[in-house]
Structures are given as structure tokens and as C-alpha cells.
């Protein structure tokens, strides 16, 4: 589903540059900062250079369309709708403004903008907006919608007029995975227009937006009389189905807040029955009825309809379920605003006009932008997976600038094995995973596990695939500062890219009421999905913002900076239920991910606990200001010299009372000049962080570490991330620095998200560059032919040193599926580690080898050729073999059983001693050759007092 082009990715990195280097980066000009943050004036910065050449916009061709043969061309007379997106002005200032708004130690903390203030400072100019409108009209396109923030111009016209305006031809294709056709352009759109344009939404319908709701296996219960019976929460069942007050009883027991004065906004693509909502309220004892108001966008319907095959059932049930969940958590809401766009229809066969029934990014962006420019609800929910583009990204930023919390369901099919389904990795939204909840007989919270459900059927003969809480690592967005400073070792998360989900809530065995418009009376439907967890979180945020208003405080706004600060603080376990049981593994990701203590990629920080509202409303005022707001990134060949070796931070007390502070360093390759002290009001001190000689011991690797500055007086922590890229084994320098390359210089590395070329050349037509990137932004592209290419790097070693060589490799065919002849060889000091010829197509595979160094240097070399296809190479590391560590022993029947992580075919020796101060260890038994990555051994307890054991790697 991810398909943002090379140009778009580079744009995103400029757009979100501050996210890579730290969320709390301040504006360079403090005078400008004050003007931007306090009065939100109109800026007049240039939006970009004017050019007389046509603008070419990248990222508009689905990858599938590049390798499929078209079925035909769209009828030139068909009518279609597209939206022309303009870039915001002053985007760097906006990013810095957002950092300041969500920095508790800033005087502008939670000083949100109103929509007109946002437009005044950041919207495209009125002149630019009018020029786009004039462009559309000049090309026979009808302007059907404009927006107050001047970022989108929605237009309609015939296929022929759209093709002429954007210099494309719209083709039709058979969808490779779904039983339908889709349309897409044959080339990237271009505009004969000087005004900068960001994207054109709606030129394809490859991705069909889909709700995440899923039926449970239990049968529905028909309620022909429509009415109700009793409130939720008193059924006595401890596993559901849950409804009504059950959610408040479990997560916010005894809360006096009910959402009064607050509105929840919900993104939908289908209408709903008011009677269904009232039947649900009757059944669960919610009274008076909460006003539910449809807001129709681009022809969306307030009621909706489904055919006799119930093909749109999930869309209909999604809307109703989202409304009922928001009301359940906040039964006193002033309103639920249901923003409804047009419903995606099952596509008719080719030859009929299915353009008008397509729901594309044009309609999606119109709905989301309406939610932003209305600014009527401070808590928003969306339960869809859907295509987005750069225009959508700007809308999410506007939500954050205006103090709107946007909660998105993380998805229902477990761990993402590669690209994350859009828009779940966007860094300006809160992504909600799912759990399975157990309550006591009286409705109190008892326990939760990461949500997973096995494959089943819906009772009507239709298969339901296995489901689980969505989680993964973004391939596009770098890790935000608020997500840094978390150990990602056990949870398998990334220290460089955005991880998800952020939080979670119950997503299993939930009852909703639906069906008055389609059957005789409403029906109780047991449902599941993270789509129901997201509106529950939006309802909870309504409770928080109700109390904030009562306190005279602004709303919480974008929740992640506060949620992560709580998660990393001593208040974690009072604010969250930490979910440590379960996983979201699936067939494509059989080892990822497992629920762990603290943050994980199944449930994020966990679910709402009793004191979370209090923690959100009373963020600690951190009077410790740490400048610079970011750590350093340093690059080097093995042994140095490094591009950056030191950085000095200034710590200041901006408060009125003394504070105690300390520092904590997570890396043995960093030195910190001071471990702590006391600062009086108005005083400052400096702390220097520098590389030490241990950094010279890295061979080829990416090492990441954090230095934490703790305000011990108020219990807050500020993290600064430091990164070492040694030897460029991840190709993240965007070139082949540190490598010696022999071969065609245009076939060297690939850029994630570039659907059309490799290093500027059309090296493997029909295959996107993303296939050649295992992690990060770049990967090695090895497509040399007809002779071998060679990629090598020499590193400093110590004679007799044992080293672990690791790399990831994949074999990609050409667009016709051909992959032979080819050859791939890996060598260390001239000795072959792996050699293969005419290798079949295979996905990313990790190759690991333990080698010994024969002298003071060693050379890692890859030789390759692939005439029709290409190999991808990424995440190359050469590191000292980590010492094996015994796990805690298990005593049973007079034996001690030890386990340890091992390398297959490596030899290990168990040893013991009775005196740790001595130098002698005794071998116990013969060396053990590992046959698995986890080994164990049982030994008799024996009678010697104070016996100590260890495992070492032994010569083979």
C-alpha cells in the first residue's frame, strides 16, 4: 500500500527534517519564534523558485501498474474527480512551531492555533491558490470545492480533460490481489504551471479504503422490537461481549467526567441509522441520547445502502460501531460529528463507468481537511486503512497545530512484515492497537493480553483470516524525538524509524447494535478490531479535555508527546496497564512481535489506567532546559577518524527554585563529563558528551545510544540520541563511501519509495526500489551484468579475533519473472563464505558467519552478476562476536538446566569454578556444537559449595 516516490521521500525528509534530529528543536531565531508562536502573523517567505518548465510530480503511479499490462484505456468521456494539492508555506517554521507547542518547558506549551491563524501563517497564498483555480478552469475542469486553508482545489471533468491537464493517459488494469479492475496513469503527472503543486489526488483507485472492523464468530442476536434492556457492565461475564458502561467500568472507574461540552469527530465512508444508535443507548442505559450529526462531504450519504449480497456490510457496521464506542466511553458528549465521504463501491466490469464510484485520495483528503478546517471536535477517530499522499500529511500537521487529537486504528492482521499500511506510521497521529480484555464479575479491570484471533468463518460460510493487533516499523518516517530513549532490544523495535502502535485498548468481543435500515429491527453484533479501540480512545480524550476545560486548561492536542513522557516516567504503571502477554505474529512475520514489559510493537504503552487522565492534565513543568535539543550523528570508516567527536550541552534552571539533575549514558563508546549536580534558579552548567576509544573498535555497524538528562526534582527525563554509522553498511550515506566498488556506477544503491529508477537510471523496469531496501532509506542494488561487479571494504582487526559477519540479501526478478543467469558470492579475506549461481527468486534472508581474523586487517567482499534481475544487499555488519551468556538456571530433580543464545554450528564449552577471584575454570563435559539458535544443557547440582558456571565459545 505504501507508494511514495523518491522525490516524495526526499520531500518528506525535508518536510520532517526536525523529526530526524529531534522533536524539541527550537527556532534558530528567537525573535522570529516569538512572532510565530504568540501572534501567528502572516509570513511572506517565498514558496520556491519559479520555473518555466513543466512541474513533474512523482509518486502517482502504483507499483503494480508498472509491471502489469493494461487492459485498455479509460473512456475519455467518463467523469472523474481529482484534487490539486498545494504545499504549505513556511514548513520548517511549522515543524519547529509544533515542537514548541508540545514542549512542556516552552512558554508556548499547548498554545494552539485557530484555523484562521493557521491559514494566515502557513496556508498557500491567495494568489497561488487562485492561479491553481485558473489553471483548472483553463483546462476545462470544474472547481467543485475549495478549502479555507487553501491547500486543496477539488475539481471534476472528463477523463480526456484530466489527461490533457496533467499530461497523462489513464489506463485500466486487473487488480493483482482483488477481484476488480483499477485505473492509473501511465506516467507521472506534470503541470504547465509556475505555482508549486504538491500532489494530484485521485488519479488512481488502486487502493480501496477499507474499515478494520471484523465480525466475531458468535451469531448475531435479532432484536425485532428495537428497544432495550439495561446498561452494560452488569452482565457478570468477565470476557464480554462488552458494551456501554463496561468500558468506563474497566478503564475509568468512578470517573465523574462524561464528555459534557466536548465533541468527537469520526471519519467515515458510509452512513448510519439514528435508530440503531438510540437502540444501543436504550440497551446499555445511556440517557439522554447523544446528538449524532452527519457531515456530508463530496456526495457522502447520511444513511447509505448495501446490496442483497451485503458487500458493504463492513462499511455500514464500522460507522455504527465507531459512534457507539465513542458514546460508550463519553455518554455525555455534546455531539458526535460523523464526517461521511462517498462509499467505495464494488467495481463493475471494464466498459462501465466505475470512475464515479471510486473513493480515492481526492475524497479522503477532502473529508480529513473538512475535519481540520471545521475544528469543531478536539478528538478525532479513524478506523480505515487507506491511500494517502503528501497533501494528507499536511492535514495531520494542521490537526496537531490546532490541538486536535487524531486516533487511528493500527490494523487487524498483526505485524507488518515490510511497509506499514497507510496512514498508520504518520508521526503526527496516535496509532491504537488492540487487546483482549478480561474483567471481574463486577466489571472491574482484571487483565489484558495482546489481541489475536485465529482464522475462522463468519457463520455465513465466508472465511475470516487470522487477526491480531497491527504493529511494525515505518520505512518512511524517522523516529520522532518523543519515541527516542526507549530500549528497543527486547521488543524488536527500531531506534531510527517510527514504531507503532502508540497505545491500545480492547478490540475483541465487543457488542454493537446495527441493522434498522436493512432488516426488521436492529441486531446485536459481536465485533472485533482495532477500529473499535480507536473511537474508545477518542471518547476517553473527550473526558480528559472536559476536565481540562473545567481547570481552565487548553486541550491535550496531539497526544503522543505527553503519552510517551508518561510512559518513560515513574508514573508509567499508574497511568497505563502494561500488556506483557501475547503477540501479533503471523505467517509473514513469524517472530515479530511479542508483548513485553514497557513499550512494545503489539500494544504500544498499553491501555488506559486509572491515573492516566491526571497525568495528562498535570504534565510536569520541566524547568531543566537542555540545549542543544539534539545529539550528534557521526560517520567513519572502521577505526576513525569520526566526522563528529564531541558535543557540549548547556543545562539551565529556568524555574524559581533549585533543582537536582543527573545524567545517564547507555553506551560504552560515549563519555559524559558530569553525572549530575544541583542548579540554582537562573544558573547554568555545561555537560560534554564525546566519543571514547571504544568507538574505534567498531568495524562495520550502526550503533545508537541515548544520554538521558534527568530533572530529579520533578521526575522528568529528556533524551538525546547519538548515532554512529561505521563503514556505511546500511548504505544510509546515500552513496558508496567506505566501500570499493568495481562495476557500472549507476547500479550501486537503491532509495526506498522510488518506484521508477535506481540511482537515476531505469535499471530494472517494473520493479520498485523499495524491494532492494531492507531497512532505512537506502539499500545496495547489485545488478551488474554481463561481467561480475565487486563491492568490498577493508577493516582493522586483531589477530585471532572472532568476528560475526551478517548481511541481508534478496534476489529480485525482472518484470517478466526472469532471474537467471546470476551469481552471488560473499568472501572474507579471499575465503568464500557463500557462493551461488543461478539462484532462484527469494525474499530478504539474513546470512551470518563467524570468522577469525588472520592479521591486522580483513576484507569483506561481495561479487555479483544478475543479467535479467538484481540482488539487494543491506544492513551489512562486521562485529566482534558477542559473548554467550547463560540464562538463570532451572533446578529440577537434582539437575541444573541452563540455556543460552547460540550460533548454529558454533562450538560452546560449559565451565565451572568455585572461586571467581581465581583464574582457573574447569571444563564440564565435551564442547557442544549448536544445532539451534537457543541451546540448553542439564548438569547435576553436585556437592561443591559456591559453584559458578559460564559458557564460552570454543575453538572448532
CA atoms within 13 A on the CB side of 779: 27
pLDDT of residue 353: 54
Handedness of CA 446, 450, 455, 459 (dihedral sign): positive
C-alpha cell at position 456: 475462522
C-alpha cell at position 225: 422490537
Residue 955 backbone dihedrals phi, psi, to 5 degrees = -60, 150
List, in sequence order, every beta strand (DSSP E) within 465-621. 467-478, 497-500, 503-506, 510-514, 522-528, 576-577, 607-608
pLDDT of residue 550: 97
d(CA 323, CA 270) in angstroms, rounded, equals: 12
Q: Could you give the 3-state DSSP secondary structure of residue 338?
A: strand
CA atoms within 13 A on the CB side of 330: 30
pLDDT of residue 219: 43
pLDDT of residue 202: 96
Name the DSSP letter for residue 227.
-
Concatenate the DSSP letters of all residues of 36-95 into one string.
Answer: IIII-PPP----S---SSPEE--S-S-HHHHHSPP-EE--TT-EEEEEEE-PPSSHHHHH
pLDDT of residue 22: 30
pLDDT tens for each residue of 500-547: 999 999 999 999 998 886 655 567 777 889 999 999 999 999 999 999
pLDDT of residue 767: 65
User: Residue 475's closest CA among 774, 874, 63, 842?
Assistant: 774
- The owner of cell 547463560 is 886
pLDDT of residue 347: 53
pLDDT of residue 130: 96
d(CA 268, CA 579) in angstroms, rounded, equals: 30
pLDDT tens for each residue of 26-69: 222 222 222 222 222 222 223 333 335 688 998 899 988 888 99
Mutual angle of helices 91-101 and 6-15, in 10-degree steps: 50
Q: Could you give the 3-state DSSP secondary structure of residue 164?
A: helix
The structure's pTM equals 0.73
Q: How far is CA 687 from the centre of its chain?
A: 33
Residues of the chain with pLDDT below 50 are 1-51, 217-236, 348-352, 753-763
Amino acid at each position: 500500500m505504501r507508494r511514495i516516490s523518491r522525490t516524495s521521500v526526499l520531500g518528506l525528509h525535508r518536510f520532517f527534517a526536525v523529526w530526524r534530529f529531534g522533536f524539541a528543536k527550537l527556532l534558530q531565531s528567537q525573535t522570529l519564534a516569538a512572532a510565530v508562536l504568540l501572534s501567528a502573523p502572516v509570513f511572506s517567505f517565498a514558496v520556491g523558485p519559479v520555473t518555466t518548465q513543466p512541474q513533474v510530480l512523482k509518486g502517482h503511479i502504483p507499483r503494480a501498474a508498472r509491471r502489469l499490462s493494461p487492459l485498455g484505456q479509460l473512456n475519455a468521456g467518463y467523469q472523474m474527480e481529482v484534487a490539486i494539492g498545494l504545499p504549505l508555506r513556511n514548513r520548517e517554521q511549522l515543524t519547529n512551531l509544533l515542537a514548541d507547542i508540545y514542549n512542556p518547558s516552552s512558554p508556548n506549551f499547548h498554545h494552539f492555533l485557530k484555523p484562521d491563524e493557521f491559514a494566515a501563517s502557513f496556508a498557500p497564498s491567495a494568489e497561488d491558490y487562485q492561479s491553481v483555480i485558473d489553471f483548472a478552469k483553463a483546462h476545462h475542469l470544474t472547481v467543485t470545492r475549495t478549502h479555507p486553508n487553501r491547500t486543496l482545489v477539488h475539481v471534476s471533468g472528463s477523463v480526456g480533460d484530466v489527461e490533457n491537464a496533467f499530461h497523462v493517459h489513464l489506463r485500466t488494469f486487473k487488480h493483482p490481489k482483488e477481484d476488480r479492475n483499477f485505473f492509473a496513469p501511465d506516467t507521472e503527472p506534470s503541470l504547465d504551471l509556475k505555482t508549486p503543486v504538491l500532489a494530484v489526488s485521485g488519479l488512481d483507485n488502486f487502493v480501496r479504503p477499507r474499515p478494520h472492523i471484523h465480525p466475531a464468530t458468535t451469531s448475531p442476536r435479532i432484536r425485532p422490537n428495537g428497544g432495550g434492556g439495561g446498561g452494560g457492565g452488569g452482565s457478570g461475564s468477565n470476557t464480554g461481549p462488552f458494551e456501554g458502561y463496561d468500558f468506563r467500568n474497566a478503564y475509568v472507574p468512578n470517573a465523574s467526567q462524561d464528555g459534557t461540552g466536548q465533541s468527537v469527530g469520526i471519519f467515515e465512508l458510509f452512513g448510519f441509522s439514528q435508530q440503531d444508535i438510540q437502540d444501543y443507548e436504550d440497551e446499555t442505559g445511556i440517557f439522554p441520547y447523544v446528538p449524532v450529526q452527519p457531515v456530508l462531504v463530496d456526495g457522502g450519504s447520511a444513511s447509505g445502502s448495501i446490496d442483497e449480497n451485503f458487500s458493504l456490510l463492513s462499511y455500514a457496521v464500522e460507522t455504527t460501531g465507531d459512534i457507539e464506542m465513542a458514546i460508550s466511553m463519553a455518554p455525555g458528549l455534546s455531539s458526535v460529528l460523523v464526517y461521511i465521504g462517498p462509499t467505495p463501491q464494488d467495481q463493475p466490469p471494464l466498459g462501465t463507468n466505475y470512475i464515479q464510484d471510486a473513493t480515492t485520495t481526492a475524497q479522503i483528503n477532502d473529508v480529513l481537511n473538512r475535519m481540520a478546517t471545521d475544528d469543531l471536535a478536539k478528538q478525532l477517530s479513524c478506523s480505515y486503512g487507506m491511500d494517502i499522499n503528501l497533501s494528507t500529511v499536511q492535514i495531520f500537521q494542521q490537526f496537531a497545530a490546532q490541538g486536535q487529537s487524531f486516533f487511528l486504528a493500527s490494523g487487524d492482521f498483526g505485524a507488518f512484515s515490510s511497509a506499514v499500511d497507510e496512514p498508520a506510521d504518520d508521526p503526527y497521529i496516535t496509532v491504537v492497537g488492540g487487546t483482549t480484555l478480561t474483567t471481574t464479575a463486577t466489571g472491574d479491570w482484571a487483565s489484558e493480553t495482546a489481541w489475536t484471533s485465529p482464522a475462522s468463518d463468519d457463520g455465513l460460510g465466508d472465511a475470516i483470516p487470522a487477526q491480531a493487533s497491527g504493529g511494525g516499523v515505518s520505512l518512511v518516517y524517522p523516529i520522532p524525538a518523543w519515541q527516542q530513549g526507549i530500549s528497543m532490544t527486547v521488543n524488536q523495535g527500531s531506534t531510527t524509524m517510527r514504531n507503532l502502535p502508540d497505545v491500545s485498548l480492547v478490540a475483541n468481543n465487543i457488542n454493537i447494535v446495527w441493522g434498522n435500515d436493512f432488516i426488521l429491527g436492529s441486531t446485536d453484533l459481536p465485533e472485533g478490531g482495532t477500529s473499535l479501540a480507536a473511537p474508545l480512545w477518542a471518547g476517553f480524550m473527550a473526558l480528559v479535555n472536559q476536565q481540562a476545560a473545567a481547570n481552565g486548561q487548553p486541550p491535550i492536542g496531539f497526544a503522543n508527546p505527553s503519552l510517551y513522557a508518561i510512559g518513560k516516567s515513574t508514573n508509567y504503571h499508574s497511568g497505563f496497564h502494561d500488556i506483557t502477554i501475547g503477540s501479533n505474529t503471523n505467517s509473514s512475520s513469524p517472530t515479530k512481535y511479542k508483548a513485553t514489559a514497557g513499550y512494545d510493537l503489539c500494544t504500544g504503552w498499553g491501555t488506559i489506567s486509572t491515573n492516566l487522565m491526571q497525568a495528562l492534565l498535570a504534565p510536569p513543568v520541566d524547568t531543566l532546559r537542555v540545549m542543544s535539543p539534539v545529539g550528534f550523528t557521526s560517520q567513519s570508516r572502521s577505526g576513525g577518524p569520526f566526522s563528529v567527536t564531541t558535543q557540549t550541552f548547556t543545562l539551565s534552571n529556568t524555574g524559581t527554585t533549585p533543582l537536582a539533575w543527573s545524567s545517564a549514558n547507555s553506551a560504552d563508546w560515549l563519555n559524559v563529563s558530569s553525572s549530575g549536580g544541583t542548579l540554582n534558579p537562573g544558573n547554568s552548567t555545561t555537560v560534554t558528551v564525546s566519543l571514547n576509544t571504544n568507538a574505534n573498535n567498531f568495524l562495520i555497524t550502526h550503533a545508537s545510544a541515548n544520554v538521558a538528562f534527568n530533572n530529579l526534582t520533578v521526575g522528568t527525563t529528556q533524551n538525546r540520541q547519538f548515532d554512529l554509522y561505521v563503514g556505511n553498511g546500511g548504505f544510509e550515506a546515500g552513496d558508496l563511501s567506505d566501500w570499493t566498488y568495481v562495476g557500472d556506477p549507476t547500479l550501486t544503491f537503491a532509495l526506498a519509495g522510488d518506484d521508477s529508477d535506481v540511482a537515476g537510471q531505469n535499471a530494472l523496469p517494473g520493479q520498485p526500489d523499495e524491494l532492494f531496501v531492507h531497512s532505512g532509506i537506502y539499500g545496495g542494488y547489485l545488478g551488474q551484468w554481463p561481467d561480475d561487479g565487486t563491492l568490498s571494504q577493508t577493516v582493522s582487526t586483531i589477530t585471532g579475533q572472532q568476528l560475526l559477519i551478517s548481511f541481508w540479501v534478496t534476489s529480485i526478478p525482472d518484470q517478466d519473472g526472469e532471474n537467471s543467469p546470476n551469481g552471488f558470492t560473499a568472501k572474507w579475506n579471499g575465503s568464500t563464505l557463500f557462493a551461488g549461481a543461478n539462484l532462484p527468486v527469494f525474499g530478504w534472508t539474513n546470512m551470518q558467519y563467524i570468522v577469525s581474523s588472520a592479521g591486522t586487517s580483513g576484507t569483506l567482499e561481495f561479487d555479483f552478476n544478475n543479467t535479467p534481475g538484481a540482488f539487494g544487499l543491506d544492513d551489512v555488519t562486521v562485529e566482534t562476536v558477542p559473548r554467550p551468556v547463560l540464562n538463570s538456571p532451572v533446578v529440577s530433580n537434582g539437575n541444573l538446566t541452563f540455556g543460552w543464545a547460540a550460533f548454529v554450528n558454533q562450538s560452546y564449552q560449559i565451565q565451572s569454578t568455585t572461586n571467581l577471584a581465581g583464574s582457573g575454570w574447569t571444563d564440564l563435559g565435551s564442547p557442544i556444537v549448536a544445532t539451534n539458535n537457543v541451546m540448553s544443557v542439564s548438569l547435576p547440582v553436585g556437592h561443591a559449595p559456591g559453584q559458578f558456571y559460564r559458557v564460552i565459545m570454543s575453538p572448532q
